[in-house]
Chain A
Amino acid sequence: MIAYAANLATLVAIFGILAATLNFVVGFAGIFSVAHAVFFGLGAYAGAQVALLLVPDALLACLVAAIVAGGLSLCLALPALRVRGEYFVAASLGLQMMATTLFSEAKPLTGGIGGLVAIPRPTVAGIEVNVLPLALVALALILFLTARLQRGAFGRSLQSIRDAESAAEALGKNVAAVKTLAVAFACAGAGIGGALFALHLSFVNVESFTMDQSVLVMAMVIIGGTGTLWGPLLGAILLLSLPAGLAFLPFIPPTEVGAVQQIIYGLAMTLLMIFRPAGLVGDLSKGRATA
């Protein structure tokens, strides 16, 4: 039971990192990306390869994962950032589909469909450690950085771009540079989450980095509250605890848990959009039509 709870807590921390970093681009910058799982995957593969080929040092794996995911986000996101609004959603959708195929086919790097297996247990300074404390520290660090950036000049630049891009540009803000930095920061964070995920499971394959995963993380952000600090974490806790909670209900047959879960997700999202459009933690007045 303790192992089960520790596993759930580790996954909540990792998905909390993913949701917090996605929230940074969606909630503060207004960039609706449905490709966050791509950068989660890049970090996971990079971290796994560091552990498999070099040393299973968790900090090194996280660093390399952040550089790979953050760096590749620059190459991949720059052309996509030239388009706005719903066009960016379509561009990120294309990126997600392309990346899923590449993850499946690039066997030397990703292990293909079979994935990368037997990833060694992580260490810090040569001592074997659990991923849970590392994931909690990473989550705390990312929440701290997000809060600092959000409350500072960079956060104001992002929010001004979200609210009125042309006005922000007319005040001297280099919109493309600000957006690119925000995406790189968020994707580097997602990469760290990926490395921790790979080290936690000792196995990664493309199944964890598909469109479904991107949508799940987006749902965490929306349900918790876009543009809030704690909302995405609350969303991660709720959406990861729900299947675990349902499994304990005796009147739901184990084979039907998946279907019931989907119905509850759908219902929760619909009710939320009607009664709390800004999410559980979000400001109630936001998202409502104003006169």
Chain B
Amino acid sequence: MNEVLLRSENLARAFGGLQAVAGVSLSLYAGQVTALVGPNGAGKTTTFNLITGNLRADSGTAQIRGRPIMGLKPWQVARLGVARSFQDLRLFTHMTVRENVFAATETASWFWQPGGSRARLRRQERAEAALEATGLAALADARAVDLAYAERKFLSMARILAAEADIWLLDEPASGLDLASRLRFGELLKNAQARGVAICLIEHNLDVVVELSNRIAFLDQGRVLAEGDPGTILKDPALAAIYFGDRPQEAA
């Protein structure tokens, strides 16, 4: 098995009386795509938010290459090599496509970035490579707000590529994409996998899950009910019943 880049153990978080995540343990392996699958409200995005520090966990731990990350702020987790996308994309709407991607390479908080012109050139190369890889080079000077939906999706991926993170958390990255765009997106993921990136994606389209993922973690009511290869998990009739809303009635 490949190296574990990110591991969470028993992550839990409640909102008032609602236990959104109830002990999620998850491992992300270098060069593998893990799909988080489950019905709405299963706790998938909350799990991402707990790992990235956007939410504080009530209990549980998470490590990146063995280094504990609980209590770190989102920007600190990001600097350890975690990049994420959001369901609502959260692009820098009034900046150009190129600026969006270039901004992803500049993490220093000071008035200038360290490393001088050589480092700047290297950042520019990273940004241009990300634009090429996502097919956005021709639109580099357009404002993000003026892009079509699929292009916006690819811009959020271009930012992640340019950030050079080795752990990707992608929240419904393929939703709303047509077949051609989905194939391009699949290529991006395969290239990243080949470079050893550990990818976790939340996805509702099971065709996309089968197409792209090596492993599935099936979440329901804040727990990982099953974990394994897509063929096995998706053929499980009990899980299918939960996913499609035909939940078996519990005994009174």
Task: Please report A residues at the B interface, Cβ cutoff 8 Å.
Answer: 149, 152-154, 156-157, 159-160, 162-164, 166-175, 177-178, 181, 185, 286, 290
Given A154-B111, A157-B109, A177-B109, the answer on whether A170 and B83 have CB atoms closer than 8 Å is yes
B106→A157 contact, CB < 8 A: yes
A174 CA / B159 CA spacing, docked (Å) = 17
A172 CA / B107 CA spacing, docked (Å) = 5
Which B residues between 219 and 242 are near A, CB-CB below 8 angstroms? none
B107→A181 contact, CB < 8 A: no
Task: Please report B residues at the A interface, Cβ cutoff 8 Å.
Answer: 52, 54, 73-75, 78-79, 83-84, 86, 90-95, 99-100, 102-104, 106-113, 145, 159, 163
Residues of A close to B103: CB separation below 8 A: 156-157, 159-160, 168, 171, 173
CB<8 Å pairs between A and B, sample of 18: A154-B111, A157-B103, A157-B109, A159-B95, A163-B93, A164-B92, A166-B74, A166-B90, A167-B91, A169-B73, A170-B52, A170-B74, A170-B75, A171-B107, A172-B163, A177-B109, A286-B94, A290-B145
CB distance from B200 to the nearest CB of A (A): 14
Given A156-B99, A157-B106, A160-B103, the answer on whether A170 and B84 have CB atoms closer than 8 Å is yes
Decide if the interface of chain B is mainly helix, strand, loop or mixed: loop
A167→B75 contact, CB < 8 A: no
CB distance from A183 to the nearest CB of B (A): 13
Residues of B close to A162: CB separation below 8 A: 94
Given A154-B112, A177-B109, A181-B111, the answer on whether A169 and B95 have CB atoms closer than 8 Å is no
Considering only CB atoms, which chain A residue lies closest to B82 in the complex?
A170
CB distance from B123 to the nearest CB of A (A): 9
Residues of A close to B93: CB separation below 8 A: 163-164
Additional A-B contact list (7), CB under 8 Å, known A174-B75, A181-B109: A149-B111, A154-B112, A157-B106, A160-B103, A164-B91, A174-B109, A178-B109
Residues of A close to B111: CB separation below 8 A: 149, 152, 154, 181, 185
A160 CA / B111 CA spacing, docked (Å) = 15
A156→B112 contact, CB < 8 A: no
Selected from B54, B92, B102, B163, the residue in CB contact (under 8 A) with A163 is B92
Residues of B close to A157: CB separation below 8 A: 103, 106, 109
